């Protein structure tokens, strides 16, 4: 079970073993599928009982949202509003939802009472950014994902060293919930081409030098020669918000 104050309970060894076997089987089965065919199979063939997509409505989010909208505009899409996002992100979220005709976008947030008790001045990110992400994002998503047995992410292999070995499927650490990663082999040039070909709205901050966009206090511009994620938690060793607590596939056995 999951609630806001306690992360999803750990799966039993038997449940984990079964889930890992399922991941291996799925990766072997779908390893040669193209993205659109892969998504259609995952969403229409009854492989999972309940699937949601989690989207930040960030720099590249329009691509995966567009691909899913071609198959099922009613798929639940979870959007975490940390209450520290750029105003441009909130505006973009509204614009993109309308453009794609998505019908079940759920904005999820930490309870106001919890934020008032644990981060009353909105300054937790200054002294402990990991705790801030845990409070405003990780626990929020853990609770929201409880009804689902799988969720779709926009992770890509090119984004970081820790993501270079991603398969189409992996597990949330300690749980039997499967993460689905349709864009693992998409490169920046392919993403840009898709955005242009389908005339998809772009996040307004991209043109202002923000190739990777998170919460406003922890995101800065990245130079043309820098890694696209260089502006996230600049100056810190932190590279992830915690939604993906283990970037390596837990049940390899096949490469997507």
Residue identified by tokens 């070995």 is: 165
Selection from 48, 93, 43 nearest residue 73 by Cα: 43
Decide: 43 and 72 in contact? Cβ < 8 Å: yes
Q: What count of residues does the chain have?
A: 256
Paired residues of 170 in beta bridges:
179
Q: At what angle do helices 35-44 and 13-30 cross, to 10 degrees?
A: 140
Is 241 labeled as catalytic in the residue annotation?
A: yes
- The answer to whether 166 and 23 have CB atoms below 8 angstroms apart is no
* Active-site option among 132, 133, 218, 241: 241
Contacts of 215 (CB under 8 A, 6+ apart): 82, 84, 85, 86, 125, 136
Q: Which helix (H) or strand (E) holds 20?
A: helix 13-30
Task: Please name the residue that has the structure tokens 């909208």.
Answer: 69
Burial letters 157-180, b for 16+ CB under 10 A, else e = bebeeebeebbbbbbbeebbbbbb
Residue pair 204/193 in contact by the 8 Å Cβ criterion = no
- Residues with a catalytic annotation lie at 241
């Amino acid at each position: 079970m999951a609630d806001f104050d306690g992360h999803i309970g750990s799966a039993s060894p038997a449940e984990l073993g079964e889930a890992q076997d399922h991941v291996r089987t799925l990766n072997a089965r779908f390893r040669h599928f193209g993205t659109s065919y892969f998504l259609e199979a995952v969403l229409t063939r009854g492989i999972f009982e309940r699937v949601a997509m989690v989207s930040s409505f960030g720099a590249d989010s329009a691509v995966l949202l567009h691909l899913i909208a071609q198959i099922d505009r009613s798929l639940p899409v979870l959007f975490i509003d940390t209450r520290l996002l750029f105003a441009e992100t909130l505006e973009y979220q509204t614009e993109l939802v309308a453009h794609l005709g998505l019908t079940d976008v759920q904005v999820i947030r930490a309870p106001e009472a919890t934020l008032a008790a644990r981060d009353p001045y909105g300054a937790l990110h200054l002294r402990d950014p990991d705790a801030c992400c845990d409070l405003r994002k990780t626990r929020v998503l853990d609770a929201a994902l409880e009804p689902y047995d799988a969720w779709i992410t926009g992770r890509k292999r090119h984004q970081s060293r820790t993501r270079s070995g991603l398969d189409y499927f992996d597990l949330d650490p300690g749980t039997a919930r499967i993460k689905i990663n349709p864009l693992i082999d998409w490169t920046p040039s392919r993403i840009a081409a898709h955005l242009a070909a389908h005339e998809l709205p772009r996040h307004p901050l991209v043109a202002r030098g923000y190739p990777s966009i998170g919460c406003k206090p922890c995101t800065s511009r990245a130079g043309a020669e820098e890694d696209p994620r260089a502006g996230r938690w600049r100056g810190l060793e932190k590279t992830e918000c915690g939604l993906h607590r283990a970037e390596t596939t837990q049940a390899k056995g096949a490469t997507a």
